[in-house]
Chain A
């Protein structure tokens, strides 16, 4: 939904990192995104292509790599874990809704390749 806003924030952070490390050209940026972070990869790639050319000198040829992190939910009642994408909020083992997302909501920049 808000891929363009996300891309602007990524560009800003990478430019800061580049300035701190005296880098002049970024080849690629790797993001770690959780499965349920709400970001759609293909939209993100489209926004990225447009935004880096328009907005950034050092990032203009940089590619965007995305590592998806599977979403896992923990059930407090039966103390088991399960895949959030398949079962959502309700635990498939015991039927409880007393569950919380353990991982899968990540939204971070892992690394960049630059010189």
Chain B
């Protein structure tokens, strides 16, 4: 008869991931690479947004895109044409990325060669918010057709983001999307969030967004 004994553990399930993510951030800092975790629902406009962003910044910095969505959202060809390299990560059907999967992707990609790596997380507003990927900043895209009440429905996602891009503002006249209300809902969850309305289609708001990104990358890689 085996003698089982009870051993108290009392450890958070995400503790090892949180520690791993912190370590990854340190490694990125040493390499001088800025990792941006980009999250959104499917169809919010990640590809269009990234294409325009890359074409505006490609002369200033080396940019890479790590594509993690299960059904690839970002067209690798389009990214290459815009002036960046891309790699497809294999998530094994997982609904999110964690720090160890991100590290593995960065290794395969040779992330040290880049100034900016964009991690395109799985298109989902629930699971990616729970797991720290080790990224330097978290950004999400909310698009106008999704509705101004998204921050109320997915509070955690909005509370972990440093920046919320509100995309597709070119179609605002056709939707009952109240920008002020949306800002209020976001601030209620995350008073520190920065909000920039953009149109990836015609470029509105991109000066402000790329300036934010430029400053964040510079602050990370120079300090």
Is B9 in contact with A17, judged by CB distance below 8 angstroms?
yes
Q: Judge whether B7 is part of the interface by a CB distance below 8 angstroms.
A: yes
- Hey, which chain B residues are within 8 Å of A17, CB to CB? 7, 9, 11
B contact residues, total (Cβ < 8 Å): 26
Smallest beta-carbon distance B142→chain A, Å: 19
**Option from B3, B16, B131 in Cβ contact (under 8 Å) with A13:** B16
Smallest beta-carbon distance A31→chain B, Å: 7
Smallest beta-carbon distance B20→chain A, Å: 10
Is A109 in contact with B6, judged by CB distance below 8 angstroms?
no
Q: Given the interface contacts A2-B95, A2-B131, does A9 sit within 8 Å of B14 by beta carbon?
A: yes
B3, closest chain A residue (CB): A115
Q: Judge whether B46 is part of the interface by a CB distance below 8 angstroms.
A: no
**Option from B5, B8, B9, B96 in Cβ contact (under 8 Å) with A2:** B96
Q: Judge whether A108 is part of the interface by a CB distance below 8 angstroms.
A: yes
- Hey, which chain B residues are within 8 Å of A23, CB to CB? 7
Q: Judge whether A4 is part of the interface by a CB distance below 8 angstroms.
A: yes
Is B7 in contact with A111, judged by CB distance below 8 angstroms?
yes
Instruction: Classify chain A: how many residues form its interface, as a range.
Output: 20 to 34
Is A38 in contact with B16, judged by CB distance below 8 angstroms?
no
Residues of chain B at the chain A interface (Cβ within 8 Å): 2-17, 94-96, 98, 124, 126-127, 130-131, 188
A99-115 to B contact mask, C-beta < 8 Å, 1/0: 00000000111111111
A27, closest chain B residue (CB): B4
**Option from B8, B10, B12, B95 in Cβ contact (under 8 Å) with A107:** B12
In Å, the complex CA distance between A112 and B10 comes to 10
Other than the known A2-B127, A5-B94, A9-B16, what 6 A-B pairs have Cβ atoms closer than 8 Å?
A17-B9, A31-B13, A97-B188, A107-B12, A108-B11, A108-B12
In Å, the complex CA distance between A12 and B11 comes to 12
